[in-house]
Amino acid sequence: MNLPIALNRIRSKPWLWSFLAALLVWLATLAFTAGEGAGALTSSALSFSAFFVIVGVGQMFVITTGPGNIDLSIPANIALSGAVGMKLMDSQNGLIALGVAGVLGVGVLVGCANYALIRLLRIPPIIATLSASFLLQSMAIAYGRSVRIAPPELFYQFSTGKWLGIPYLALAVALLTVLAGYLLTRTRYGRWTLAIGQNMRAAELAGVRVERVRWATYVLSAVFASVCGVLLAGFSGGASLSMGEEYLLASIAVVVIGGTSVAGGFSNVPGLWGAALFLYLLVSMLNTFGASAGVRLILTGVIIIAVIAAVSGRKTLRSL
């Protein structure tokens, strides 16, 4: 195989770039620390990246449905679901199933509410989900203002435990991404989601049930955010009202950096993991170098803008 063919194959797989970026940042961090803590850094990266991937999967499906579609209710949903889950479980192993069921119910209700604002009231998705986030945050404040409740021991062990140095959570989320990839590429729902993102009007004329697919997509995103909320509460030793704040930017960043088109119609599931690892390792590297939180946020924003510009540039070149 000659070099040009190999390079073309690499370019055809945009998810490889996010993993390459994560690898370079990981090597730079280890070079600065003389290789100390490599195992701990890798394990932590897998644990925290798993939360980014969970919300990223749901956000990816929403963004795939076309321009303007985005879920901004994710942080508030995480806070509310974490509080609901911990209260329902009440630190008892026997109530874990009840807590998980309650959280899934919250996700379905939030997704239905978001879509109702979009469809029935004709509110743009960005405004609708942002408005919903204020309501959800208020509910989280009212519901979760009591004393912090610790997660059940079994739930805590699952959220923080490891097998051969690999977090249980990372293994579970890896399986989840495989299922998401199958859903996107091998099912009618996934093909319809891609078709809507490419051209909604053409998809509708072809017999795609556009509004039903959009409803399912917003519900899916909300359910993933709710699952992230309860797992994050278990990992952190309890729910807090601010635990979802960083996931608004993260849920968008992992989708964009991972290779999914912001214009819709094209998704990249493997890239979510590469982007999530890159974002966490980037923060770890900046902390190791002594950079402030402000520098971290600025750099993340610059990276997202650069990726969007690069994607737009490639589309412009193809159209010439």
Chunked in runs of 10, what are the mean pLDDT values of the chain (320 residues)?
Answer: 56 71 85 79 89 94 90 93 91 92 95 93 91 89 73 92 88 93 91 90 88 94 95 90 86 86 83 89 81 74 68 45
104 falls within a domain: yes
7 falls within a domain: no
Res 308: pLDDT: 61
Query: How many helices and strands, by DSSP H and E, does the chain display?
Result: 14, 2
Res 307: pLDDT: 63
1 falls within a domain: no
Res 316: pLDDT: 42
Report d(CA 17, CA 310) in Å as an integer.
13
Largest distance between two CA atoms of the chain: 64
CATH assignment of the domain containing 85: 1.10.3470
CA angle 279, 78, 65 (to 5 degrees): 70
DSSP-assigned letter for residue 54: H
Res 65: pLDDT: 92
67 falls within a domain: yes
Res 320: pLDDT: 42
Q: Is the dihedral of CA 212, 216, 277, 185 positive or negative?
A: negative
Q: The tokens of 90 are what?
A: 């009440």
Q: The tokens of 157 are what?
A: 């062990």
Task: Name the residue with tokens 């797989």.
Answer: 13
Which residues make beta-bridge pairs with 162? 167
| Contact in structure between 227 and 116 (CB atoms under 8 Å) | no
Res 172: pLDDT: 93
Q: What is the pTM of this model?
A: 0.88
219 falls within a domain: yes
243 falls within a domain: yes
CA angle 115, 194, 200 (to 5 degrees): 65
Structural domain for 315, as ranges: 14-319
pLDDT in tens, 135-177: 988 888 887 665 578 899 999 999 998 888 889 999 999 999 9
Virtual torsion, Cα 100, 186, 173, 24, nearest 10 deg = -150
306 falls within a domain: yes
Report d(CA 99, CA 268) in Å as an integer.
31
Res 256: pLDDT: 86
Name every residue whose Cβ is closer than 8 Å to that of residue 320 and which is 6 or more positions away in sequence.
none
41 falls within a domain: yes
Domain count, the chain: 1
